[in-house]
């Protein structure tokens, strides 16, 4: 009888020796490449936990998907599945974390995100902390896990992954409070890779909830766009494709078109409105088949 361990190699590779038989491409931030080339990038928010929806978004030609754990009901397993689906569809995955927590930043990056969106950033000190959380020591504080999805499950040299990740990972500062607007220039200079206005929260803070095009909201958003001064790009959320041209004319190169749920709901609502025009139904019969 052969010894129990006879089939194992005499020496196991250390964390910086790749398994030769398996090759996994290192993560690449496709949005970073678009910005460096001066090209436009288009994305959307992913709220649905269904990986097929996220993969479909990429297959449709969108450049990036922002997986939302702040407002959507997504857990860590969902984030990993959606990051995988985004890449399968050809889109770069980002994750909006639910809070300004370094551990959440590390978890999102370990799941395979190319970067994180930090909500409600109000000051440069917090921005610097989030930048450190997304980088490995000695520059940062990110925990070193050699067997995460992002590292290829230990199939590539960990040192190579660290170098690539530190060079490619983006920290996106979402400015969505009056305090953040007043400090946006300092935040932009704190090492973040991009800015993102939060028109929904800004509108609520100004007492005009839902009015993204209110003059006070637009003025605040304009200040955020200008704060990058060409060096720090801006992601701009739009509700309709018709809004894109105005922001592109103002120098914005990264457009976030709505939310997967909202796009789906509007498509069905539009179809239903068309059906009603073709054959108007009494209001009392709406949904009767389901009662």
pLDDT for 94 equals: 98
Please state, in angstroms and rounded to a whole number, the distance separating the CA atoms of residues 16 and 161: 9
| Torsions phi, psi for 97 (to 5 deg) | -75, 160
- For residue range 162-214, list pLDDT tens digits in order: 999 999 999 999 999 999 999 999 999 999 999 999 999 999 999 999 999 89
What is the maximum alpha-carbon separation in the chain?
82
113: closest CA among 76, 61, 144? Answer: 76
240: pLDDT strictly greater than 60: yes
Please state, in angstroms and rounded to a whole number, the distance separating the CA atoms of residues 218 and 246: 12
Give the torsion sign (CA, 98, 103, 105, 110): negative
From 71, 120, 214, 286, the catalytic residue: 71
1: pLDDT strictly greater than 80: no
Per-residue H/E/C for 32-97 = HHHHHCCCCEEEEEECCCCHHHHHHHHHCCCCEEEEECCCCCCCHHHHHHHHHHHHHHCCEEEEEC
pTM of the model as a whole: 0.88
Annotated active-site residue 286? The verdict is no
6: pLDDT strictly greater than 90: no
pLDDT for 279 equals: 77
Please report which helix (H) or strand (E) contains residue 117, including its range: strand 115-118
Which region among 164-168, 270-274, 281-285 has the lowest average model confidence (pLDDT)?
281-285
Q: What contacts 184, CB < 8 A, 6 or more positions away?
A: 175, 195, 223, 224, 227
Give the residue-averaged pLDDT of 113-130.
98
Level-2 CATH architecture, domain 30-277: Alpha-Beta Barrel (3.20)
pLDDT for 229 equals: 82
Cβ(229)–Cβ(194) under 8 Å?
A: no
pLDDT for 18 equals: 47
Instruction: Considering only residues 20 and 116, tell me which one the structure prediction assigns the higher pLDDT.
Output: 116
Rounded to 10 degrees, the C-alpha dihedral 23/29/35/41 comes to: 110
Label residue 20 by pLDDT band (50, 70, 90): very low
Cβ(70)–Cβ(98) under 8 Å?
A: yes
280 by Cβ neighbours in 10 Å (0-12 / 13-18 / 19+) ranks as exposed
- For residue range 138-167, list pLDDT tens digits in order: 999 999 999 999 999 999 899 999 999 999
């Amino acid at each position: 009888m052969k010894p129990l361990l006879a089939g194992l190699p005499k020496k196991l590779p250390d964390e910086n020796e790749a398994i030769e038989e398996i090759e996994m491409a290192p993560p690449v931030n496709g949005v970073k490449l678009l910005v460096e080339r001066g090209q436009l990038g288009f994305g959307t928010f992913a709220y649905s936990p269904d990986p097929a929806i996220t993969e479909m978004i990429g297959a449709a030609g969108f450049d990036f998907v922002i997986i939302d754990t702040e407002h959507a009901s997504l857990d860590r397993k969902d984030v990993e599945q959606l990051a995988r689906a985004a890449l399968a569809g050809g889109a770069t995955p980002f994750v909006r974390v639910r809070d300004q927590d370094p551990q959440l930043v590390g978890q999102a990056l370990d799941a395979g995100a190319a970067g994180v969106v930090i909500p409600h950033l109000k000051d440069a000190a917090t921005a610097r902390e989030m930048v450190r959380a997304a980088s490995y020591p000695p520059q940062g504080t990110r925990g070193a896990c050699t067997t995460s999805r992002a590292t290829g499950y230990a199939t590539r040299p960990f040192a190579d992954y660290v170098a690539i990740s530190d060079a490619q990972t983006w920290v996106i500062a979402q400015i969505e409070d009056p305090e953040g607007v007043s400090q946006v220039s300092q935040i932009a200079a704190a090492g973040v890779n991009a800015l993102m206005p939060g028109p929904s929260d800004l509108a609520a803070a100004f007492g005009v909830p839902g009015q993204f095009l209110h003059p006070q909201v637009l003025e605040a958003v304009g200040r955020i766009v200008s704060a990058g001064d060409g060096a720090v790009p801006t992601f701009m959320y739009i509700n309709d494709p018709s809004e894109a041209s105005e922001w592109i004319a103002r120098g914005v190169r990264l457009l976030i078109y709505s939310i997967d749920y909202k796009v789906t709901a509007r498509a069905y609502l539009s179809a239903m409105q068309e059906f009603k025009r073709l054959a108007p139904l009494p209001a009392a019969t709406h949904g009767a088949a389901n009662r």
